[in-house]
Amino acid sequence: MKKVLFCGAVAAGLATFISGAQAHFQLIFTPETMLEKGGEITLKMPFTHPAESGHVMEMGTPEEFYVIRKGKKKNLMDSLNIIDWTSRENTGKAYEASVKLRGLGDNIFVLKPAPFYEASEDIFIQQITKSYVNVGDLPTDWAEPQGLKTEIRPLTKPYNVIEGGTFSGVVLSDGKPVPFAEIEIEYLNYPADPENNRFESEGKISSPAHAILADASGTFTFGIPEEGFWGFAALGVGPDKEHEGKELSQDAVIWVQARDID
């Protein structure tokens, strides 16, 4: 049985609710983002509609995939493998990677996918996505911007958000805050089944789609009502606006994991 939730959203300043629909979201998923020790983890990367287990888009070859640890960048393109990911609606081409984590601290995974052509809107979408995995409960890089074309700089540890608490971030484009950026928010409502490359058949909650505006400094805060994974996508904030002669929405995406403290 699904729970019905109302999610509150406030921001430091003048952010407000705006209408939203179920959105495209690039995932970088691994089941646990706080590990006691290092070792091999597997990351699943479908481009889909996670709140509703909706359509899985066919991904092209990513432009970049890497991890940043203690300020050092490691190219992971050679670790990518093509998979098929299945939702309630269809099966589509996605990617996975097995990565060995060594030592303590934060590991920041960055995926820059190939622009995806959305025929219904006649635009390209490119979601530059970050996901965080911590080893040994030693925070290192999580609060730092990573110099991406566009990104959400977290002001809350993205791997240790508290259910019933809030997540805050700053939307950046070329390192500068984006005033009043539009941010879509989705819950990974149909749990991922990474062993079988699919979403589970039952959703956890009934919750409307959410979209908020950052304030004049590009900062936003969102109340997290449920444990699990939440995605934030700042839409069209990147500096690149055109691809192959068509409009490009270059989005900044971050995934966070909320935890039940009971």
* 154-181 residue pLDDT tens: 999 999 999 999 999 999 999 999 999 9
The amino acid at residue 260 is: D
Instruction: Name the region of 164 (left: φ>0; alpha: ψ -120 to 50; beta: rest).
Output: left
pLDDT at residue 19 in the model: 38
Report the C-alpha gap between 30 and 72 in whole angstroms: 21
Whether the model pTM is above 0.85: yes
In percent, how much of the chain has pLDDT > 90? Answer: 88
- Number of structural domains (the chain) is 1
Tell me what the pLDDT averaged over the chain comes to. Answer: 92
Q: Are 159 and 137 in contact (CB under 8 A)?
A: no
Tell me which residue range forms the domain holding 104: 3-259
